[in-house]
Structure 1
Amino acid sequence: MKNAKTYKSLLVMLLAGWCLLFLRCESTEKSMVRAVYLARTEQRYQAGLLYQAPQAAADAAEASAALQFVQAEGQTMERALAAAEQALPQTASFRLCDYLLLPKAAEPLLTEYEQLVLRRGCGRTAARLFCAEGEIEHLTTQATLPDALMAQLKAAAPTAPRLYQHTEPGLLPVLGWSAKEVTIQEGGVLHTVAANTPLSPEQAEVFRLLAGQGGTRQLWLEGERIGIRRCTVSVTLQKAQVLVRLDCQRAAHSPLPTQAQQQQLAAQCAALLQSCWQQGMDVLHLQARATLRDGSGASFDPTKNACPQWRTDVHFMLY
């Protein structure tokens, strides 16, 4: 009995040691790709990889894991990505590839990359989508920019759509960089299958409000900054018009909006809804609502029907 317990303890120790060795090999013998950059010109593709490759040191506490960036070109997307992978110091691992950056979020480019990910595993379909503005050479030559880029990607990620959602309308955050810094640009790019439309900071905040995205929304109303920490959007379908009601809870230390400010926000919501409808985008999912209510949503198809009349009301809670 005593020998059995001894053997059991020995086996547990050996298993634990093997697991630690496996995890260490996984982290030090592969270049962990954290983000992919893709661009296309008339004749070539450009691919960039933001990666992390820990460098071993005599003292484990001094091991380096700074982010770095490599880029490559190719006649096809697959060749460009393969060339970028070959430039990595170790075998590429896309297990932690959470972000995809594109200077222009063209639908054919997204579809091609998604199919390549499914076939080759060179990325993740759950990666967050971003528009990128900046010279890619800065990321390869400026040692501090890759880490700064990762920090901004993490900050903007909660509102960014995912790759597998690229056929649905979505608002892409815009990251820009120079030779010195990386910033999250104000506004965003409204992506649809048909087109990409830049939105002003005010329009982007209104879109996020209507889409029910989390986080505090900051809006300038009648020259005063108003913070909204929570918003409930209610929709009522009628024959001649659509009633939209926003019940908002203001952020801490934000003043209670006046009637004029509430009317201004209501007008901004109606204008954005109309603009999106004209681009074939049903922000409030009216077609699905009509289908659930009547069994058919044909009368609320933005690609076939004229824009409905919007009646938008905004109310703020007193607390």
Structure 2
Amino acid sequence: MKHASRTARWMAGCLLALWCVAFLRAETTEKSMVRALFLRQAGQGWTVSLLYQFPEAAADASDAEAEIRACTAEGETLERAIQTAEQALPKTANYRLCEYLLFDEAASQTELLEVQEFLQTKPVGRLSARAFLVEQTAPLQQQAEPLLQCAEDHAAGAPHLYEAAGEMILPVVGLEEETAALSKESRLLTAQGSAPLSLEETAMAQLLQEKLPVSFELEESTITLRRCVVSVEAEGNGFAVTLTGQRKAGTPPVSEMQCRQLEALCTQTLARCWENGLDLLHLGAVRALKQGSREKLTTKNAYPAVRVSVEMLEF
């Protein structure tokens, strides 16, 4: 009786081991793990590049070590282009690790909204995926790995796709022959296309969105703010914006002149975003909270008067 029980346990252990091996092979080495989608719209069609790993990528680990490759296809619709690209993969596509959506530098908010609607019904990506624009001057096949690495390194500063319901600021990755690097400039996406933001405007937009730390080049010196509290109040027919910041430890104190420069830059950035359809500080919502539904302020209205003040906290 004991011998039969021991044999049964041994057979059960063997079956469990075989099942685990089969499961691991089915979920890892037998899949083409798509890590990012590079989407470009041309005329009435789409060009889709799948950045994937095969065959050593793990289906449940984000630190897979297999080489990043690119598979590109075209189609009259986004769905057809993706299906054609999937057919060219060595194994069945798996999107479990697809965390980045890359768009051509000429993309508009309309394209992002179309992709967002598509992903709500097709499991080829996540609405929480981070979005980037790509300036491409080198073949994607040769630069797929540095492109993905750059997106991973700077993911914290990129918006999620589900934020595309309104105008949004996207970071830009420059793809060259030997490297991929994040541009110091960014682009503001609207329904009509995209508007560039300068290095200084990009830094201020990051500060106002509380994506810290952020650095500014002022008076031939660099100041880095590690913390900043942004407060907005309705003030008469306009608004009062106060930035209360704290510099990074070990950096020189921020002078009064530099504070005034930051105030001017903040005013400039808010106005530029407003003109392109983005209410960066939600001024319309602030006005509605104070005055109720009697008056609705949107970016279709003229840019309101905004008084900006910058204060610095010492250690």
TM-score, normalised relative to structure 2: 0.88
> Matched residues in 2 for 1:17 and 1:312: separation?
67
Cα 1:179–1:238 change in 2 (3 A) is: same
1:140-219, aligned counterparts within 5 Å? Answer: 140=141, 142=142, 145-213=143-211, 215-219=212-216
2-structure distance, mates of 1:205, 1:122: 33
> Which residue in 2 is equivalent to 1:295?
292
**Structure 1: 4+ residue segments shifted above 6 A:** 2-10
- 1:128 aligned residue: 130
Counterpart of 2:303?
307
Q: How far 1:295 sits from its partner (Å)?
A: 2.4
* Contact kept? 1:74, 1:83, Cα under 8 Å: yes
Q: Secondary structure at the match of 1:307?
A: coil
Q: Name the counterpart of 1:23.
A: 24
In 2, the alpha carbon distance for the partners of 1:13 and 1:248 equals 63
Question: Once superposed, what is the RMSD of the aligned Cα atoms?
Answer: 2.6
Determine the C-alpha separation between the residues in 1 that align with 2:78 and 2:96: 20
**Residue 125 (structure 2) pairs with residue 112 (structure 1):** no
- 2:234–2:290 CA contact under 8 A, matched in 1: no
Whether 2:309 is the aligned partner of 1:316: answer no
- CA distance in 2 between counterparts of 1:94 and 1:130 reads 18
Q: Give the distance between the partners of 2:314 and 2:82, measured in 1 at CA.
A: 54
Cα 1:108–1:276 shift into 2, 3 Å: closer
Q: Which amino acid aligns with 2:133?
A: C
Aligned partners of 2:10, 2:207: CA distance in 1, in Å? Answer: 57
Q: Residue 38 in 1 paired to residue 39 in 2?
A: yes
In the alignment, which residue of structure 2 is the partner of 1:221?
Answer: 218
CA–CA distance in 2 between the matches of 1:267 and 1:139?
40
- Conservation of the 8 A alpha-carbon contact between 2:184 and 2:199: yes
1:95 maps to 2:96: yes
Are 2:233 and 2:286, in contact at CA under 8 Å, matched by a contact in 1?
A: no
Q: Which runs of 5+ in 1 are unaligned?
A: 57-62
CA separation of 1:316/1:202 partners in 2, compared to 1, >3 Å: closer, same or farther? same
Distance apart, 1:168 and its partner CA: 1.8
How far residue 289 of structure 1 moved from its aligned partner, in angstroms, is 2.2
Residue by residue over 1:156-205, the C-alpha shift from the partner in whole angstroms, topping out at 9 and shown as x without a partner, is: 11111111211223211111112211111111111233441111111100
Once residues 286 and 297 of structure 1 are traced to their aligned partners in structure 2, the CA distance between those partners, rounded to angstroms, is 15
Question: Secondary structure of 1:166's match?
Answer: helix
Distance apart, 1:311 and its partner CA? 0.9
Query: Does the 8 A contact of 1:287 with 1:298 survive in 2?
Result: no
Aligned twin of 2:232: 235
Name 1:59's counterpart in structure 2.
none
User: Sequence identity, in percent?
Assistant: 38
- Paired with 1:117 and 1:170, the residues of 2 have a C-alpha distance of 19
Preserved CA contact (<8 Å) 2:130 2:158: yes
Pair 1:96–1:297, CA change in 2 (3 A): farther
Q: Secondary structure at 1:243's aligned position in 2?
A: strand
What is the TM-score normalised by the length of structure 1?
0.87
- The Cα of 1:64 is off from its aligned counterpart by 6.7
Residue correspondences, number:
307
**Map of 1:73 onto structure 2:** 74
Q: Check the 8 A contact 1:116/1:122 in 2, yes or no.
A: no
Distance change in 2, residues 1:4/1:106 (3 Å) = farther
Q: Secondary structure at the match of 1:266?
A: helix
5+ unaligned residues in a row in structure 2: which ranges? Answer: 58-63
Q: For the residues of structure 1 that align with 2:87 and 2:49, how far apart are their CA atoms?
A: 12
* Residues 201-248 of structure 1, C-alpha deviations (whole Å, 9 max, x = no match): 1110000101122x3101011221100111100111111321111010
In 1, the alpha carbon distance for the partners of 2:168 and 2:13 equals 50
Q: Distance in 2 between matches of 1:296 and 1:64?
A: 55
